[in-house]
Structure 1
Amino acid sequence: MNYKYSPLPATSSGTFSIRLLHLMPVCDSQDDDSLSCRLVETEITDHSSNESMCNETGQSHVKYQALSYTWGLPVFSHSLQIRDSSDDNDTLISPKPKGSCSIIRITENLYAALRSLRKPTETVVLWVDAVCIDQQNIVERNSQVANFPKTYAGATNVLVWLGPDDVLDHGRLCLNFFTDLAALILEDPKSESENDQRSWRKRFQINQAVSAFLGDDELQPRAITSLLQRSWFKRRWIIQEVVLAKEVWVHYGTTSIHWNTFELAFVELFENDKGGFSDEHRTILRTMSRIRNAEAMLKRQTPLDTLVEFDSFECSNPRDRLYALYGVMQHWFPNSAGMRVLVDNIDYGLPIRDVFTDFAIHMMKLGDDFPLDSNYNSATHVLQLAGAMRPLRQRGVTGQDVPSWVPDWTGTMRNRPLRHSRANSDASLGIPIQRFQILTLEDNSHALVAVGLVHDVIRAVIPLDILPLTGAVHKAKHALNNFLCSVATSFDELSFFPPSCADIYGPTGQHIISTIAVTLVANWEHTPANSYFAQDARFPAQFLEQLRSSKHHLPEILHKWPAYVELISITMRGRSLMLTESGYVGICDTNAREGDLVCVLSDTRIPFILRQKHLTLPLIPKSSSSLVNGDILRGDAFELLGDAYIHALMNGEAAERLGKNSLRRLCIL
């Protein structure tokens, strides 16, 4: 019969309850193919939250290992026999008498893992999520997922199961090579003088070993490629499991190595191979080579950055796009009360729309919770990611559409958010600061109500194909020249320049080519901080001086400034150039079109593009206690499309030009 879970009991402060899988040794089973265990309800001391109390009570630490693996296809083709527990250990809760036996159905991959990890003569104590959690009990599931960080941090080891080896023994070949490579890298010279003499020889030997292992024939399947195709490397939950673990051991078939050896080999392979891996494989190599040492505090990133960094990792439940990384974010920001609230509010019963919306609201309130510089604005970042992460699926299909102002983490990143302007020198300067308000509507969706200025209307959107820019110089020059021709055509069609000011950009008096050159890289300061032009303030000035001296032939100076081309390709991915009704030049999301609005919202750092929603009826707030009174009228409702750079509109010029009397209430749905 199927195993029936009993509820986990409530625990005292400083402890939490889990079930541990006591895997019986091989000799305990008459049939070598069968697996049997006991599920033991166990009270675990939370050492991370109350170390001093644990020391005073003298409660022994329960030793167990946590399994990190992939469930695989939801085909439960094997049985795990569950014996009744009768252990007298004082850490056990409510032991049951021996005698009966029931089963839990498990997947092929978990069956293979337990078979491989089982010992001949001793019991192995494991924590395995699929078995140790009653997956049908939503309340227990919520509680246990919230305890994942403590569960993995409390384990003596985390055991990574990559799966059974293949018929060519690729797993054994890879892990044995990693062991030899790590030993070669870590080999100490006998003296300092010998180190100087051998440094180049050692590098030669390492390169030679890597080249020999990877092979020269690209058509020949390589052991490392087989390794990187393992589904474990794409699983979102592994990030938390590896980051929080005390020690990690990697198992691939019957071969195993310590994570430090595994990681060292990945570092070398990522830095050594210059083109033999696919982009997906290089992403895996990069992530695995730094995941245990990635310190968010040192990188000055935010929880939102953490989600973006690991965006390529997958999960079957969309809620886990967030839940799987809550433990990592809490670990990297231990002093953040906001992170603790997030972990405590995990709820698999909530609709996906509400999970994403609640997270966005929470993130918008955490502006002062992280040690970042004054340029960062959390509300701005949330809105930027909402535009950048929009999924490609057709809206309205599921009936649970995520609001346009909320990042939909099931989507893919279309563009990289622009860097924020400096405090007191941003686009909303001069607009009275009014915090965003959240309005619950009759259909239980949430609207974001903001105060801001509708500055302009888009009159032309001009796409730039960035693919040729990353190729040969002559192709880049040709692509950029074609793009400038399309810009010139749009100028003529719109009568963009007054007759007396040919080729002069009205808001600043600059030549239009200089303006476009600056706009395509968002004026340098809004692009990645580690770019070439961010290294020295003289570099942008030198570029513009050379542009002026070449009589504004932008394509002709590309070969002199490859860093400029690279920066365009980063900044303009997922973006287009735009021209506005008032004579402004900027860049916006590729989904923007003629008639969309350039808006500057209070308490944000950069402009945003909004599209007016044509509603047939007013949307009525569900709660009359809202700070916003009355219905949302047709003229008040908008859809957020994304962030924007508008040349000469990034430093408070909107409020200066329009004045406070032009402020509007904008409801973003």
Structure 2
Amino acid sequence: MVSVSPRLRDSLDYEDPEETDPRLSFGFRSLSINSAEYESYEPHGDRRAFAGSPDPGANRRIKRQRQSDQTLDHAVPFEYKTVADGDLFRIACILPGTQSAHVECRLEWESSRHPEKDYRCLSYCWGETIERNAAILLDGFRFAVTRNLHRALQCIRKPNAEVRLWQYVLPAWVDQLCINQSDLDERAHQVSIMKHIFNKARVIVWLGDEDDRSKKLCEYARKMGRGEHAPRDSPKTILSRILSQRQLHDAVQRLLQRPWFSRVWVVPEVALARFTEVAIGSELVSWDNLVRLIKDTQLPRKSGFDKQTALLGNPRQRIAIISQMNASQREGLLHTDITQLLILAKSSNATDCRDKIYAYFAMTLLRLRPDYRERPDHKRSVERLYIEIAEHYVNSIRYDDYYSRWHALNEQRRTQQLMSMLYSAGRLHQHYELPSWIPDWTFAWYQAPFWCTTDANLSAFSGRDEWSTGIRSPYRAGGETIETLEVLNEAPSQHCLRISALVFDTVAEVSETTPASTPSTEGHSPVSPAESTVTLDTSTYSYGRDFFKTKKGLRGMATRGIQTGDVLAILLGGDVPVMLRSANVVDVEEVAYTLLCECFVQSDDVMQGELIRTDLWLAEDIVLC
């Protein structure tokens, strides 16, 4: 005899905690198919599906899909009738639904300071296109969205319960359900309370649909995080049954190449969250397990220039920085490391160039500036914004003890942050018309740097800004101490930087081919292999650079675009030399130069600081403009 019970809910996540299983109610009896009592029963007249029965036929699915499309097609376009201000923000409640039924949401108000109910935040990237070629129902009105968001909402919603979601914006403010994207003031206001919204939410990172190995990769990460293996088997033996080492490397590389990892707004979305889950299709894995997986998976190094490991802001390094930022937020510390912000911003994509800075607004000390009025200004010109931010950081790090006390910045770390700004700048690394010492946050990293390493530094994360100390280069060309470093704001030298430097040589010859190494020249010994992994024939570092020979016979390499007559200088406190070009600035007492780029000189005396120690008395104040 076979008994079949009426189909119950697909999920046990009931809205009403007092609701009980109907099979336990009084008078319930199993339906016996073989019982003569039910010979006249016509199952075709009953529209209810039986447990274990197959899905309805294709005709019924087509009919439901047609009805769903008609509902969307006839719906009136959505318009915002209210303004989000104060502590309030909108929550999108995703109504229950399954399979191909259209996605329907309802907007509700919630307090960022004292939320009444739990909610989640969705972090996603729009995908291959920003074209809004799909639609949902929002408060009964039609709302156009990208196909990637539509797919994410379908996977997140539940069949029997609502899902309360704050869907934040990524570049171009497309797909925004909870914020009026056409209202710049509302957008700025929502960014200003973003910290409070994310601190009280569980974040879902939507990476897209599954591929042939992502499901196994999630299983691998979960089991590795829980340490699930038999007593006599090693974890490697058990996990290798899920993915071999070759398959694991391929799966991790594919994962890190997904567009989400290159967007600028994902940084605060994860850094500010109290808990983060990563979703790939229907699979979920915690952020901590994902970081542990990436940390323990050493990808094979490729010969030649490999941007996955050679460039600053590579996916592994981005994950490490974001995790360290998250640790800072959990300890209630505002972020103070400009080095990390520059690494992330210049390796991120953003449609609005201001977002390269405003994305970090909620978790840095920038929000304490009175002229920013607790909210970003998208009407401010990009050039003005970049200049103001650079000057603000120089003055804060150099002179503001309050700023340094947030993360206990010692003199060495303050010097390192200041120099990282200069090494991230340079006329040869700018798109906008900016003073040469001002970093252009839109200019992407495309060369392996001399002034730091590109290691992920995926160690145990603490709230302090100790992460950047692990990426410092082995060179100490300028010693450990800065003397003069100040911003000049008086015309005609407005927005110039006065700094102490030793100008020690001039470029005599520039070539695109690698010159032969030379022995000691003019008393400068060549770089010792034990002291450096960089030589002039190292393909990783020579990519995108020209080679030069100086009047004193030194050889080196610098960013393509240097010319004969450019001068080499060591900035006091800097780790590597820089290339400068003479500039004409009237009414300036010091010699004025344009900063071009960092450079490498094949001389141990220069790179390890012996030159600055012997010739320090020749250093002078110069002006970078």
Mark yes or no: TM-score above 0.5. Answer: yes
Residue of structure 2 in register with 1:500 after alignment: none
Matched, 1:210 2:285: no
Change (3 A) 1:134 1:180: same
Residue of structure 2 in register with 1:458 after alignment: 506
What do residues 396-429 of structure 1 show as CA deviations (whole Å, max 9, x unaligned)? xxxx523321111222333332669889956876
Output the CA distance in 2 between the equivalents of 1:603 and 1:264. Answer: 35
Residue of structure 1 in register with 2:135 after alignment: 79
Whether the aligned pair in 2 keeps the contact of 1:389 and 1:409 (CA below 8 Å) is no
Output the CA distance in 2 between the equivalents of 1:154 and 1:345. Answer: 20
| Residue 66 (structure 1) shift | 0.5
Q: Quote the sequence identity (%).
A: 20
Whether the aligned pair in 2 keeps the contact of 1:463 and 1:575 (CA below 8 Å) is no
Partner secondary structure for residue 366 of structure 1: helix
Whether the aligned pair in 1 keeps the contact of 2:122 and 2:205 (CA below 8 Å) is yes
Output the CA distance in 2 between the equivalents of 1:159 and 1:291. Answer: 15
Matched, 1:231 2:259: yes
- Alignment partner for residue 131 of structure 1, among 168, 177, 186? 177
- Taking the TM superposition and a 5 Å limit, the aligned residue runs for 1:210-609 are 210-211=243-244, 214=247, 227-268=255-296, 270-271=297-298, 283-284=314-315, 287-288=318-319, 291-292=322-323, 302-308=337-343, 311-327=346-362, 330=364, 337-338=365-366, 340-341=368-369, 344-367=374-397, 369=404, 370-376=407-413, 377=415, 378-387=417-426, 390-391=429-430, 400-413=432-445, 414=447, 415-417=449-451, 425=479, 433=484, 435-439=486-490, 447-450=495-498, 455=503, 458-461=506-509, 482-484=515-517, 505-506=521-522, 510=523, 515-517=525-527, 578=548, 580-581=550-551, 588-599=558-569, 608-609=578-579
Residue of structure 2 in register with 1:179 after alignment: 219
Look up the equivalent residue of 1:324 and give its one-letter code. A
Partner secondary structure for residue 109 of structure 2: strand
Whether the aligned pair in 2 keeps the contact of 1:437 and 1:450 (CA below 8 Å) is yes
Output the CA distance in 2 between the equivalents of 1:456 and 1:594. Answer: 15
Output the CA distance in 1 between the equivalents of 2:244 and 2:572. Answer: 56
Residue of structure 2 in register with 1:22 after alignment: 93
Change (3 A) 1:343 1:125: farther
| Residue 287 (structure 1) shift | 4.8
What do residues 184-227 of structure 1 show as CA deviations (whole Å, max 9, x unaligned)? 6634678xxx6xx644xx434434543178199xxxxx766665
Residue of structure 2 in register with 1:161 after alignment: 206
Whether the aligned pair in 1 keeps the contact of 2:205 and 2:279 (CA below 8 Å) is yes
Output the CA distance in 2 between the equivalents of 1:606 and 1:226. Answer: 35
Change (3 A) 1:345 1:448: farther
Whether the aligned pair in 2 keeps the contact of 1:458 and 1:597 (CA below 8 Å) is yes
Matched, 1:651 2:621: no
Output the CA distance in 2 between the equivalents of 1:572 and 1:446. Answer: 35
| Residue 149 (structure 1) shift | 2.8
| Residue 63 (structure 1) shift | 1.5
| Residue 452 (structure 1) shift | 5.3
Whether the aligned pair in 2 keeps the contact of 1:428 and 1:606 (CA below 8 Å) is no
Residue of structure 2 in register with 1:44 after alignment: 112
TM-score (norm 1): 0.61
Partner secondary structure for residue 506 of structure 2: strand
Partner secondary structure for residue 292 of structure 1: helix
Whether the aligned pair in 1 keeps the contact of 2:122 and 2:203 (CA below 8 Å) is yes
| Residue 4 (structure 1) shift | 3.1
| Residue 132 (structure 1) shift | 1.0
What do residues 5-24 of structure 1 show as CA deviations (whole Å, max 9, x unaligned)? 2453543xxxx221111222
| Residue 381 (structure 1) shift | 2.7
| Residue 133 (structure 1) shift | 1.2
| Residue 357 (structure 1) shift | 1.7
Output the CA distance in 1 between the equivalents of 2:252 and 2:482. Answer: 51
Output the CA distance in 2 between the equivalents of 1:288 and 1:603. Answer: 29
TM-score (norm 2): 0.65
Residue of structure 2 in register with 1:526 after alignment: none
Output the CA distance in 2 between the equivalents of 1:607 and 1:275. Answer: 28
Partner secondary structure for residue 110 of structure 2: strand
Whether the aligned pair in 1 keeps the contact of 2:221 and 2:285 (CA below 8 Å) is no
Partner secondary structure for residue 438 of structure 2: coil
| Residue 235 (structure 1) shift | 2.2
Partner secondary structure for residue 641 of structure 1: strand
Output the CA distance in 2 between the equivalents of 1:136 and 1:108. Answer: 21
Partner secondary structure for residue 486 of structure 2: coil
Matched, 1:63 2:118: yes
Change (3 A) 1:388 1:137: same
Residue of structure 2 in register with 1:554 after alignment: none
What do residues 349-398 of structure 1 show as CA deviations (whole Å, max 9, x unaligned)? 1222222222211221232525344334244332221029815xxx6xxx
| Residue 241 (structure 1) shift | 1.7
Whether the aligned pair in 2 keeps the contact of 1:428 and 1:651 (CA below 8 Å) is no
Change (3 A) 1:212 1:389: same
Output the CA distance in 1 between the equivalents of 2:308 and 2:486. Answer: 43
Output the CA distance in 1 between the equivalents of 2:408 and 2:540. Answer: 27
| Residue 153 (structure 1) shift | 1.8
Partner secondary structure for residue 639 of structure 1: strand
| Residue 605 (structure 1) shift | 7.6
Whether the aligned pair in 2 keeps the contact of 1:458 and 1:595 (CA below 8 Å) is yes
Whether the aligned pair in 1 keeps the contact of 2:547 and 2:556 (CA below 8 Å) is yes
Give unmatched runs, 5+ long, in structure 2: 1-75, 169-175, 453-471
Say which structure is richer in helix: 1
Change (3 A) 1:236 1:635: same
Output the CA distance in 2 between the equivalents of 1:422 and 1:603. Answer: 8
Residue of structure 1 in register with 2:52 after alignment: none
Change (3 A) 1:451 1:237: closer
Output the CA distance in 2 between the equivalents of 1:281 and 1:582. Answer: 37
Instruction: Tell me how many residue pairs correspond in the alignment.
Output: 493
Partner secondary structure for residue 183 of structure 1: helix
| Residue 641 (structure 1) shift | 0.6
Matched, 1:120 2:126: no
Whether the aligned pair in 1 keeps the contact of 2:422 and 2:439 (CA below 8 Å) is yes
Output the CA distance in 2 between the equivalents of 1:347 and 1:252. Answer: 35
Look up the equivalent residue of 1:81 and give its one-letter code. L
Q: CA RMSD, aligned part only?
A: 4.6
Whether the aligned pair in 2 keeps the contact of 1:356 and 1:407 (CA below 8 Å) is yes
Output the CA distance in 2 between the equivalents of 1:389 and 1:25. Answer: 54
Look up the equivalent residue of 1:403 and give its one-letter code. P
